Amino acid sequence: MDYGGIETWLMHFLRRIDRTEFQLDFCYTHSSPGAYGPEIESLGGRMVACPLHRKNPFGFARRFRAILGEGRYDVVHSHAHHFSGFVLLLAHQESVPMRIAHCHNTSDGKGGGPARAVYHGLMRRWLRKHATHGLAASEDAARALFGPDWRADTRFRVLHCGIDLEPFRQNVSRAEVRSELGLPQEAPVVGHVGRFMPQKNHAFLIEIAAEVVKHRPDVRFLLVGDGPLRPPMEAKARELGIDKSVVFAGARSDVPRLMLGAMDVFVLPSLWEGLGLAGVEAQITGLRCVVSERVPREIAVVPDAVTRLRLDAGPAEWAREVLAAQGREGISGETARQLVAGSDFNIEYSTADLSGLYERAITGKGNCA
């Protein structure tokens, strides 16, 4: 439960759900509960450790079944992509009435090969057998996990993750934010938000930055996020001689403030995405966005705000589009907020939808299995 798209959406949901009716506990498989752990516990939830070691899935299974037995849960809501098949098998064995598989991506990023294909096939079979419901961040994500015929199964549907619009209404001092980040006050700034993982394609992003700076030395790039690939990306920026033009801001809890106060254009050259929620957030602030064609089309909530490009167009073409976007007039933030507020990307919509689904588990009307 560190800062990230899925985790932040879950926190928006937890803050709004009726906590006199529901208690949300979070099962984490890593060594730390993450940055959101203390707030979760302050809101009445529990952080429950269940270590997952690749070579010992049976240890995870024993611990997880014990957790379910002790907690007597009404719902298990799994966000673990293909591994949700195993999670929901265990939940079924413990007689949990509602078992939700939630797909937030179009790939698990673990590569292919025969062994992986066998694993995916087994997980999908378990998921189809043991899931009472399936949710997906986009149609592409639904197809990736539930199969090409997902619409034929009434258990499966799309639920767009909602965004809390309130932080995007704050008055932000551009001068203060830029000074804090070490950005020149008048410099055009290209922003990106994402974990430093292969999916986000930071190596290509650094190459785009080098092309942009070649034509416009005054442009700066602001990269928000952290992860294992950050050090090699910092090294790549130094190798290309643009380290003074790229700010690595690290993981931040104030992304709306940074978008409002520092960025002029947003770029998302991902190799794959379940949706790319940061791109929707960028649109709320009135930013023009240049995104990969591998980002689902549903990301375009604000008309004319999003330009899609093929990755094989190369960094030079991407640089031209980024500079062209920077030169266009911005979009009214108020207009953008109204468009998102009236869409199912509003957090109020997904809170009501998911709360209603959980309610059916409690009343005994939600089990489709």
Measured CA distances, 309 to 156, 201, 289, 306, 354 (Å): 30, 14, 11, 10, 33
Using one digit for the tens of pLDDT, what is the confidence trace for 120-136?
Answer: 999 999 999 999 999 99
**Over 70: is that where the pLDDT of 348 sits?**
yes
**Over 80: is that where the pLDDT of 55 sits?**
no
Q: What is the mean pLDDT of residues 303-328?
A: 96
User: Which residue from 273, 42, 260 is spatially nearest to 172, judged by alpha carbons?
Assistant: 260
Question: Is residue 186 domain-shared with residue 304, that is, in the same domain?
Answer: yes
Using one digit for the tens of pLDDT, what is the confidence trace for 260-285?
Answer: 999 999 999 999 999 999 999 999 99
Give the residues across from 135 on adjacent strands: 102, 157
Query: Could you tell me if residue 71 is inside a domain?
Result: yes
Structural Rg of the chain based on CA atoms: 21
Question: Is residue 36 domain-shared with residue 99, that is, in the same domain?
Answer: yes
What does the pLDDT read at residue 148? 96
Q: What is the mean pLDDT of residues 93-120?
A: 93
Question: Is residue 185 domain-shared with residue 156, that is, in the same domain?
Answer: no
- Banded model confidence at residue 365, pLDDT cuts 50, 70, 90: low
Q: What are phi and psi of 75, to 5 degrees?
A: -140, 135
Question: Is residue 88 domain-shared with residue 187, that is, in the same domain?
Answer: no
- Using DSSP bridges, classify how beta strands 156-158 and 133-136 pair: parallel, antiparallel or unpaired: parallel
Using one digit for the tens of pLDDT, what is the confidence trace for 214-258?
Answer: 999 999 999 999 999 999 999 999 999 999 999 999 999 999 999
Using one digit for the tens of pLDDT, what is the confidence trace for 302-315?
Answer: 988 999 999 999 99
Q: In what order do the strands lie in the sheet with 98-103?
A: 75-78, 98-103, 133-136, 156-158
Question: Is residue 175 domain-shared with residue 321, that is, in the same domain?
Answer: yes
What does the pLDDT read at residue 369? 45
Angle between helices 114-130 and 84-93 (to 10 degrees): 40
Question: Is residue 233 domain-shared with residue 358, that is, in the same domain?
Answer: no
Query: Could you tell me if residue 368 is inside a domain?
Result: no
Number of structural domains the chain divides into: 2
Percent of the chain with pLDDT over 70: 99
What does the pLDDT read at residue 112? 81
Question: Is residue 193 domain-shared with residue 283, that is, in the same domain?
Answer: yes
Measured CA distances, 300 to 15, 287, 295, 340 (Å): 27, 12, 10, 10
Handedness of CA 249, 253, 259, 260 (dihedral sign): negative
Residue 135 corresponds to which tokens in the numbers above?
């949710």
**Over 70: is that where the pLDDT of 96 sits?**
yes
Query: Could you tell me if residue 369 is inside a domain?
Result: no
Sequence-distant (6+) residues with CB within 8 A of 196 are: 202, 225, 226, 227, 228, 229, 230, 233
Query: Could you tell me if residue 146 is inside a domain?
Result: yes
d(CA 337, CA 155): 32
- Banded model confidence at residue 153, pLDDT cuts 50, 70, 90: very high
Question: Is residue 358 domain-shared with residue 234, that is, in the same domain?
Answer: no
d(CA 185, CA 200): 28
**Over 60: is that where the pLDDT of 366 sits?**
no
Q: How many C-beta atoms lie closer than 10 Å to residue 235's C-beta?
A: 12
User: Which residue from 68, 4, 12 is spatially nearest to 30, judged by alpha carbons?
Assistant: 4
Query: Could you tell me if residue 249 is inside a domain?
Result: yes
Question: Is residue 142 domain-shared with residue 17, that is, in the same domain?
Answer: yes
d(CA 310, CA 24): 40
Question: Is residue 188 domain-shared with residue 304, that is, in the same domain?
Answer: yes
Query: Could you tell me if residue 354 is inside a domain?
Result: yes
Question: Is residue 83 domain-shared with residue 37, that is, in the same domain?
Answer: yes
**Over 60: is that where the pLDDT of 205 sits?**
yes
Query: Could you tell me if residue 64 is inside a domain?
Result: yes
Structural domain span for residue 250:
166-341
Question: Is residue 251 domain-shared with residue 126, that is, in the same domain?
Answer: no
- Answer for the pair 185, 156: CB distance below 8 angstroms, yes or no: no
Q: What are phi and psi of 250, to 5 degrees?
A: 80, -175
Query: Could you tell me if residue 286 is inside a domain?
Result: yes
CATH number of the domain enclosing 296: 3.40.50.2000
What does the pLDDT read at residue 361? 86
